[in-house]
């Protein structure tokens, strides 16, 4: 379950209330077998729109799947500047939810309604994912209502699909680790398919970090960081001002699909009790390698002479993760002391050098690792876009037999400017 503000569960229970004189409340009635529910003045009519209609400003119905807890529910939000009645119908025309404000709240009207169904475990009989999808058919869901401002009929539609994305795999921090309260970069693997293996159109990610201590039971001041990111982003630098020393946190990363369906990946981590001096991740380097003979280019990364580590993340100057490495099993106990990574090197006529440079920004790359003793290690490396020109080898000549007792290797000195605007060092 995500840590955004939640409304009470209203999927299975009709909510009614009675207040003292001058009070007000809202009656929320889940639809059942096409019945509108309610009696007398409190009846929710859900009548067809009449005359000229206005539109709901917000209308979304979507599935939320929690991959960690293995539960699934249906969520929705509808909003406009004041309603005295709101009704939601599924794609078959069956009423599934009706909202009727009463008393003083009826006079004021309801602007936004967010609902979240119960999220039963996927193993509960009658509530497997297949069961839930059968209960809520795909298609266009219809929202009707009545404006509390001028009595005008209101309409809206929401797309509802059964495409549920896979959960993002969080690569850093790892579950239950202790991390520094400064310079934390959260990273995850991109989501490319649904839970059923279908190609999925991810429109964005949401990262939610919540202090896992309920020290404000009567309010909503518990520190929570919530950020929506574009689908190209797979990492987020957490502001140092947000994290406290010696504090547990819940981290959620949500993959959001085109129709609004979303799946959550969750881990928990804790910050260090006191700031500690960080160890360097050895000799870290990032660089391009251009093969002028084969006319291809690749991106390389190397770490050497470091204390053994079992988890590493590398982020670029833009804060996006580009690599994560995790030693597992017995190798995690030994740790890694060196690493060399070499990308694919496509021919320049297929992927021009300029495109390679666009994918890997020039600037400072951040290396963060966790030693086998749990100590955090950090280093940086600079990537330059200055790539030397190729230069001819003058001896031995290609294809000419050489005297094995007197082989002289010679080449021309590089003196020309590279085509990328700088004279590289020789």
d(CA 45, CA 385) in angstroms, rounded, equals 67
Contact between 143 and 98 under an 8 Å Cβ cutoff? The reply is no
Give me the pLDDT at residue 414, please: 66
pLDDT in tens, the chain (426 residues): 343 433 333 333 333 333 323 334 445 556 544 444 444 445 778 889 988 999 999 999 999 999 999 999 999 999 998 899 999 999 999 999 999 998 888 878 899 999 999 999 999 999 999 999 999 999 999 999 999 889 999 999 999 999 999 999 998 898 999 888 888 989 999 999 999 999 999 999 999 999 999 878 777 888 999 999 999 999 999 999 999 999 999 999 999 999 999 999 999 999 998 876 667 777 899 999 989 888 999 999 988 878 898 888 898 888 778 888 888 889 988 898 889 989 999 999 999 999 999 989 999 998 988 888 877 788 889 999 988 877 778 888 888 887 777 888 888 776 654 444 444 444
Give me the pLDDT at residue 266, please: 97
In the structure encoding, which two tokens stand for residue 87, read together? Answer: 């009704």
Give me the pLDDT at residue 16, please: 33
Give me the pLDDT at residue 33, please: 45
| Residue closest to 180 by CA, chosen among 287, 117, 272, 82 | 272
Domains present along the chain, CATH in parentheses: 26-160 (2.60.40), 170-271 (2.60.40.10), 283-383 (2.60.40), 388-426 (no CATH)
Task: Report strand pairing: 95-101 vs 110-116.
Answer: unpaired
**pTM of structure:** 0.65
Give me the pLDDT at residue 208, please: 97
Q: Does the bond joining 240 to the residue before it have cis omega, within 30 degrees of 0?
A: no
Biggest CA–CA distance in the chain, Å, is 109
End-to-end CA distance of the chain: 57
Give me the pLDDT at residue 200, please: 96
Give me the pLDDT at residue 9, please: 32
Residues pairing with 98 in the sheet: 29, 87
d(CA 111, CA 38) in angstroms, rounded, equals 21
Residues pairing with 146 in the sheet: 85, 153
Give me the pLDDT at residue 275, please: 72
> Which H helix or E strand runs over 147?
strand 139-147
């Amino acid at each position: 379950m995500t840590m955004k503000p939640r409304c009470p569960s209203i999927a299975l229970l009709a909510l009614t209330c009675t207040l003292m004189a001058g009070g007000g409340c809202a009656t929320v009635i889940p639809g059942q077998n096409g019945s509108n529910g309610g009696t007398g003045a409190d009846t929710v009519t859900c009548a067809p729109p009449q005359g000229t209609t206005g539109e709901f400003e917000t209308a979304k119905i979507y599935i939320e799947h929690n991959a960690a807890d293995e539960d699934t529910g249906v969520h929705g939000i509808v909003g406009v500047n004041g309603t005295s009645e709101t009704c939601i119908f599924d794609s078959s025309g069956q009423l599934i939810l009706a909202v009727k404000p009463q008393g003083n709240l009826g006079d004021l009207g309801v602007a936004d309604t967010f609902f979240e169904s119960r999220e039963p475990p996927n193993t509960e009989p009658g509530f497997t994912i297949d069961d839930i999808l059968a209960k809520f058919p795909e298609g266009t869901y219809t929202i009707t209502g009545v404006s509390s401002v001028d009595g005008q009929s209101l309409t809206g539609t929401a797309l509802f699909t059964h495409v549920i994305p896979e959960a993002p795999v969080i690569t850093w921090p790892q579950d239950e680790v202790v991390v520094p309260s400064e310079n934390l970069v959260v990273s995850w693997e991109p989501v490319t398919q649904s839970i059923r293996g279908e190609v999925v159109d991810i429109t964005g990610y949401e990262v939610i970090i919540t202090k896992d201590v309920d020290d404000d039971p009567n309010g909503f001041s518990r520190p929570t960081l919530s950020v929506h990111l574009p689908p190209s982003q797979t990492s987020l630098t957490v502001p140092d001002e947000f994290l406290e020393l010696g504090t547990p946190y819940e981290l959620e990363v949500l993959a959001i699909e085109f129709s609004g369906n979303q799946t959550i990946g969750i881990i928990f981590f804790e910050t260090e009790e006191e700031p500690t001096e960080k160890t360097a991740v050895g000799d870290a380097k990032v660089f391009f390698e251009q093969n002028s003979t084969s006319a291809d280019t690749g991106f390389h990364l190397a770490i050497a002479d470091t204390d053994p580590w079992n988890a590493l993340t590398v982020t670029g100057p833009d804060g996006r993760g580009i690599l994560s490495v995790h030693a597992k099993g017995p190798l995690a106990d030994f740790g890694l002391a060196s690493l060399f990574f070499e990308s694919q090197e496509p021919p320049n006529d297929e992927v021009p050098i300029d495109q390679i440079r666009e994918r890997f920004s020039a600037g400072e790359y951040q290396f963060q690792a966790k030693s086998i003793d749990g100590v955090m290690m950090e280093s940086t490396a600079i990537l330059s876009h200055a790539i030397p020109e190729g230069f001819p080898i003058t001896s031995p000549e290609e294809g000419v037999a050489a005297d094995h007792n007197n082989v002289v290797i010679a080449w021309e000195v590089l003196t020309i400017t590279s085509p990328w605007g700088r004279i590289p060092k020789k």
